[in-house]
Structure 1
Amino acid sequence: MLEISLDQAEASVLDPRMRPSSNPLVKVWDIASVEFGRPDLDKALSFLNDFGLTLDCRDADTAFLSGLSGYGPCYILRRTDTPCFRGIGLVVRTLEELDRVATLPGASAVEQACGWGEGKQVRLTDPAGFPVRVVQGPRHETPAPRHSLVQNLELPRSRVNAMQRPPLGAATVLRLGHAVLSVVDFFRCVRWYMDNFGLLPTDVQTIGDSDPALVFMRCDRGDTPADHHTVVLVQNVANQYSHSAFECMDLDDIAMGQEHLLSNGWKHAWGVGRHLLGSQIFDYWRDPWGDKIEHFADSDMFTANHPADVTPLTTGGLYQWGPPVPSDFEAPKLTPAFLWKAIRNVRRSDEMTFTRAKKLLKAIGDKPRPWVGKH
């Protein structure tokens, strides 16, 4: 019987460029937010409400949304003429750490956090040009509307004379879990996040001769477990948003949320399935402007002493089970403007080359399930 396992791939030694910082500026505790510019806030809010986020407040040009827990609003909308991604927010635990972040080149002074009366923030920009806000303040917690369902799996059967009837409606978004970004200068960006924010590599994926091209990074919480990944960086020919992911209660919550989104005519992207790296149950959607957003549940958790794993980058490495990856899932729209930008980025970059870009295309272009259709 064929088994899908990371053990099939011979692990490599961690590339020195991917090693954690021995003395980071601060150690971020979590992800706080993602931010987008949208020309139609009403349309954006209609989708996000059906996705499971709750509107905190809005005016004509700005809206702030949250899950049941987190550090201030986890989804920020700004009215813009054209749709765009406007960056991520990360959490530090103390004002002293926030003061240290404010010393970084190009950082703002400590100021009131956007949409969060109890929080403070520092604004800065990463090497790929993505805005980053680092926030500090209290975490809020709202009880979930139900407990996870009791399953009759093996003996003893614990659910007797009772039926499973999860409610049909929007998924219960608990919190923002992670964001995935494509970057041209991969190693420069990785070092920036590791050296400044103490992020740790959990899984590194490679192309060609074991050359890193993707890293799943988690927060360094010492002996307190952290999600398998909080920020993921993958090398590409353009600096662009890939997706953000929001934790839900369980598989039934994700599946009923899928029914709700489908019933309201929103565009499904991929799922339901289970990731190989991180183990999350996933379901991806497209917002009205085509950007991907994910429901997930059941993430792996790691303490700081867990070493990084190194495996080859393949599309098959995205999932253990689930429907085939759609052909447009990671493929950009090949407009003349995008192609020109990609060529210009490769020519200007010290890291990305046309040869490297070809290796990346080969890695993600190989058939993820080569045995499908053979029998």
Structure 2
Amino acid sequence: MNSSNALPRLVTPQPARHPAPTVKAQRLAHLIFERPDLDEAAIFLTDFGLSVCHRDADTLYLRATDPSPYCYRIHRAAKARFVGFGLEVASLDDLQRLSRLDGASGIEPSRHPGGGQQVRLRDPSGFLVEAIHAQSPSVALTHRAPLRFNFALQQVRVNDTQRPPVEPPEVLRLGHVVLEVADYQATCAWYSQHLGFIPSDVQVLEDGSPIVTFMRLNLGDTPADHHTLAIAQGFMATYSHSAFELVDADAVGMGQRVMRERGWTHAWGIGRHILGSQIFDYWQDPWGDKHEHYCDGDLFTSKEPTGVHFVSPEAMAQWGQRMPRSFTKPRLSPANLVALLRNLRRSPDLTLRKLRTLMRLFG
């Protein structure tokens, strides 16, 4: 970090708010994975706090307590991988506009719980995006109420105790997904231009080049999560993590107890983020993919301007465990090494200098 501590101006055009996006996405609807073992996936995710809502021979669906018919879809496949995600749009006209984009499918019926109509898209990094409309909601599931706190100057709980149940925390909803990409500029621009995402905060290197963008939905005067999508510069297109909202900090703590007792691998936490402010705790599924419990995140309207901040391990949390190097350590398989070399030659956003800087900071 430079000695003046003054933030430089961004030296590249993205991320930026688009003045007239194709559509404005309304909600992160679901994630899509492939896994070789649906039973093992179900055990992890139900311990994590989701509920199995539908299953057939080759597909598993899980839901949270909110009325969404499902928020997590898994297809049986020989190898484990992240495929993409679904975004709800407001109207059939939105689907029609998206269907005219290069590489888009036509408008088609959804075969998944909740039905509705969809258009399938591919972003510049190759992730599948399912734009959905008119999906039928399910009945919301019950969950415990948030605990009431006695503060030093305000006591609201008298002759009562705190005894949350020792069981998997109830996931209220899917909150956000974080992707790593080689083509950072094109991918950020695509989500801004075609789905209306707004950059809430950007983390930059010392020279001012952006490295991570936290993007929120443009819901006008309705408050939106600080980020529904985050995009980070990496050496290849890959999943970083997804996040699921819990009712309060005790639910996050209980989640840690239950996940530890059931033998799952802890990735990072508990702590509070700086950008987004969430109290967080991260867990790895059987294939090493990270899933976050969180509560108490920031909400912004569309009027809030973009913030710019230096990136560093210290900039990831206000308190709690320092982010371990294992959290961002890349998986250097032969296929990933081939992708690294190919993207160094091909991508305008990935250079040896930038890669060395990222490895120094987080490797």
**Which of the numbers 39, 64, 83 marks the counterpart of 1:86?**
83
Structure 1 residues 216-225 or 16-25, which shifts more?
Answer: 16-25
Aligned length in residues: 358
Equivalent residue for 1:46, pick from 36, 43, 47: 43
Q: Contact 1:267/1:286 (CA < 8 Å) preserved in 2? A: yes
Letter in 2 for 1:22: P
Give runs of aligned pairs for residues 313-324 of structure 1, distance below 5 A: 313-324=311-322
Structure 2: gaps of 5 or more residues: none
Residue number in structure 1 paired with 2:165? 167
Given candidates 16, 20, 25, the residue that maps to 1:28 is 25
Corresponding residue for residue 372 of structure 1:
none
Per the alignment, do residues 349 and 70 of structure 1 end up closer, same or farther by CA in structure 2, a change over 3 Å counting? farther
Q: How many Å apart are 1:106 and its aligned residue?
A: 1.1
Q: Counterpart in 1 of 2:216? A: 218
> What letter is aligned with 1:216?
F
Q: What is the Cα deviation at residue 70 of structure 1?
A: 5.1
Q: How far is the alpha carbon of 1:9 from its aligned partner? A: 4.9
Partner of 1:4 in structure 2? none
Match for residue 307 of structure 2 among 306, 309, 322: 309
**DSSP-derived class of the 2:319 partner:** coil
The amino acid across from 1:36 in the alignment is F
Match of 2:140 in 1: 142
Deviations 1:52-90 (A, max 9, x none): 111111011001111011543110000000111111111
Offset at 1:12? 4.1
- How much has 1:114 moved relative to structure 2? 4.1
Question: Per-residue displacement from partner, 1:86-131 (whole Å, max 9, x unpaired)?
Answer: 1111111212112211111111112222422342211111100111
- C-alpha deviation, 1:349, in angstroms: 1.3
Matched residue, 1:10? 6
Q: Do 1:200 and 1:217's aligned partners in 2 also have CA atoms closer than 8 Å?
A: yes
| Partner SS state of residue 90, structure 1 | strand
Tell me if structure 1 keeps the 8 A contact 2:31–2:71: yes
Q: Partner of 1:102 in structure 2?
A: 99
TM-score (norm 1): 0.92
1:139, CA displacement in angstroms?
A: 4.7
Aligned to 1:122: 119
2:337 corresponds to 1:334: no
Q: Distance in 2 between matches of 1:123 and 1:39?
A: 24
In the TM superposition, what is the alpha-carbon distance from 1:361 to its structure 2 partner? 2.1
Q: Is the 8 A contact 1:72 1:119 kept in 2?
A: no
Deviates more, 1:127-136 or 1:220-229: 127-136
Q: Partners of 1:246 and 1:240 in 2: how far apart?
A: 19
**CA 1:131–1:70 in 2, change beyond 3 Å: closer, same or farther?**
farther
Asked if the contact 1:69/1:139 (under 8 Å) is kept, the reply is no
Task: Give yes or no for contact 2:329–2:362 (8 Å, CA) kept in 1.
Answer: no
Structure 1 runs not aligned, ≥5 long: 1-7, 366-375
Counterpart pick for 1:55 among 52, 55, 73: 52
Deviation at 1:140, TM superposition (A): 4.7
| Equivalent residue, structure 2, for 1:357 | 355
Distance 1:311 1:141, change over 3 A: farther
Check 1:247–1:141 CA distance in 2 against 1; reply closer, same or farther (3 A cut): farther
Shift of residue 333, structure 1, vs aligned partner = 2.2
Aligned mates of 1:9, 1:302 — CA distance in 2: 26
Query: 2-side partners of 1:70 and 1:326: how far apart?
Result: 36
Offset from partner CA, 1:256-313 (integer Å, 9 cap, x none): 1221111211111111110010000101000011100111101100000100000111
